[in-house]
């Protein structure tokens, strides 16, 4: 999406979003990754519980995820589910053999369903455990995310460059 002018304006040059990220990461931060999460009607798959710092191989805690609902997100269509305060703990993750994926091990009764209206922004720390359920409804559930990082962030799985990971503020 970083190459697409519409999404670039809507997400990466949107002062209402960037000001909020700046209040957490400070005056200088870069794009780590941006994604579209599309759960088609009736067959949209769940996303296993994980936190993004493990997913991206990052030890540095300064990662902020901005998640934006394009459709109303409900428990029935697979809204985001977060584990409150998990960014303050060390939540163990198991490796999924043969893949890069990791699955967080925790008590699922503590999860919170994050219902969201279209256009609503949910922000969470890179260490917050999250995932989502299947879409059981007859309409799609779509969302965008933009993951922002402190410019000094390093990863044991990825290398960053200015084309794919531009400065969104500062630089
Ligand atoms: O939208 C979803 O279902 C999951 C989103 C997610 O895993 C993320 O934003 O990192």
CATH code for position 25: 2.60.120.620
Alpha helices in 51-129 (DSSP H): 52-55
Tell me the per-residue pLDDT of 33-77, one tens digit each, with 9 for 90 and over. 999 999 999 999 999 999 999 999 998 779 999 999 999 999 999
* Residue 80 beta carbon below 6 angstroms from any ligand 1 atom: yes
> Which atom number of ligand 1 is nearest to the Cα of residue 79?
3
Distance CA(36)–CA(28), nearest Å, equals 24
Mean pLDDT of 91-119: 92
Q: Would residue 51 count as lying in a domain?
A: yes
How many domains does one find in the chain? 1
What pTM does this model have? 0.93
Q: Would residue 160 count as lying in a domain?
A: no
Domain that holds residue 136: 5-151
Distance CA(15)–CA(59), nearest Å, equals 28
Residue 37 alpha carbon to ligand 1 centre in Å? 7
**Proportion of the chain above pLDDT 70, given as a percent:** 98
Sheet of strand 141-149: strand arrangement: 121-125, 63-69, 141-149, 29-39, 167-169
Structure confidence at residue 52 (pLDDT): 94
Tell me the per-residue pLDDT of 133-160, one tens digit each, with 9 for 90 and over. 999 999 999 999 999 999 999 999 899 9
pLDDT band at 100, cuts 50/70/90? confident
């Amino acid at each position: 999406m970083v190459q697409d002018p519409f999404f670039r304006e809507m997400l990466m040059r949107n002062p209402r979003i960037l000001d909020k990220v700046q209040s957490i990461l400070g005056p200088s931060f870069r794009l780590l990754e941006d994604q579209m999460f599309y759960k088609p009607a009736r067959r949209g798959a769940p996303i296993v519980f994980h936190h993004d710092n493990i997913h991206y191989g990052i030890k540095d805690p300064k990662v902020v995820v901005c998640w934006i609902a394009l459709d109303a997100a409900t428990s029935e269509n697979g809204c985001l589910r977060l584990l409150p305060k998990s960014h303050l703990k060390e939540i163990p993750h198991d490796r999924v053999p043969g893949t890069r994926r990791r699955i967080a091990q925790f008590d699922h009764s503590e999860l919170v369903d994050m219902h969201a209206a279209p256009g609503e922004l949910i922000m969470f720390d890179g260490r917050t455990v999250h995932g989502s359920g299947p879409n059981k409804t007859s309409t799609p559930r779509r969302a965008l995310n933009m993951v922002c990082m402190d410019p000094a962030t390093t990863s044991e799985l990825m290398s960053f460059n200015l084309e794919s990971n531009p400065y969104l503020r500062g630089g």
